[in-house]
Structure 1
């Protein structure tokens, strides 16, 4: 991938290159957040205009997540994981991704960081939805790719390890 292409993809994570109408609908979704049908309609319109844009996917993910619609948030997290795998030139199977496949160690490397955030969301949501083994595997992969724990994956494993045990304090 050419450096200019990488820069365009990185800018997209911050909303760069977002078509004006998609941005308009994202803004309206935020303003109407308390009106579920209206806000979701605006998000769907933004998605129809820019289906592969990171800003739209992130907006949709956050909407579902904060509305407690975790299954739908997981669907979007999976889309983000696939998109970011493609953007980073990674295997679409997150199990096969290795630490040296991308610049995961740099917090300034936006595309690899987006991948890590998507993987963290994927793992966390699986944990919340009761699929603890899939969640654990994803978080363990996150920590393999982010051994410095910059994204806070260790706390998710600690929660899993404490689960089911009584507090001895």
Structure 2
């Protein structure tokens, strides 16, 4: 990923917050998220800006998303998983859902409505969590999260079946 692409990815977080997660991102946090994106190729500088954004807007979804993307694109998957867990907790709280994703039921939120942005955010976070679990070799946990996604989103608008197919193919390869 080029530094220009990284800056674009990081800079999307504040707009995502305004469009999706209620806004309220302080200008200092916005500035630091943009600076983190611009300095993506310099780990220490980017991480300092992410930390300053977090200090300016503790627990804000835009900051969490920026951290997640930063760690994910850097290949630091265990750290991305930690942030995914924080995002899951935030998404559950923002939706009034049980804190344990395993306890969430299809009727707890408008998961099937495209314009229900907070429930969709929960689904996308759970999908990211499932994917990371799979990449880190935690296939049972990943599969459980994927199956929960399909329970909450039976029409599979977010594409969880692709992850399930990967898990199933892996099992077939083990049988050979």
* TM-score, normalized by the shorter chain, greater than 0.5: yes
Match of 1:32 among 31, 39, 42: 39
SS at match of 1:11: helix
Question: Aligned with 2:172: secondary structure?
Answer: coil
For residues 87-113 of structure 1, what are the alpha-carbon distances to aligned partners after superposition, in whole Å with 9 as ceiling and x for unaligned? Answer: 000000111100010000012111001
CA distance in 2, matches of 1:128, 1:51: 28
- Which residue number in structure 1 is paired with residue 69 of structure 2? 62
TM (normalized to structure 1)?
0.89
Show the counterpart of 1:118.
Answer: 125
Segments of 5+ residues of structure 1 without an aligned counterpart are 1-9
RMSD over aligned CA atoms reads 1.4
- Give the Cα separation in 2 of the matches to 1:31 and 1:103: 36
Partner of 1:44: 51
Query: Aligned to 1:30, what secondary structure does the other structure show?
Result: helix
Per-residue CA distance 1:30-84 (angstroms, 9 max, x = gap): 1011111111110111011112211111011000000000000000000000001
Residue of structure 2 equivalent to 1:4: none
| Pair 1:12–1:47, CA change in 2 (3 A) | farther
Aligned to 2:88: 81
In 2, distance between residues paired with 1:26 and 1:73?
17
Distance of 1:163 and 1:132 partners within structure 2 = 10
Matching residue within 148, 167, 170 for 1:160: 167
Q: Which has the higher helix share?
A: 2
CA distance in 1, matches of 2:19, 2:162: 29
CA distance in 1, matches of 2:69, 2:88: 15
Runs of at least 5 residues in structure 2 that lack an aligned partner in the other structure? 1-16
**Count of aligned residue pairs for this structure pair:** 157
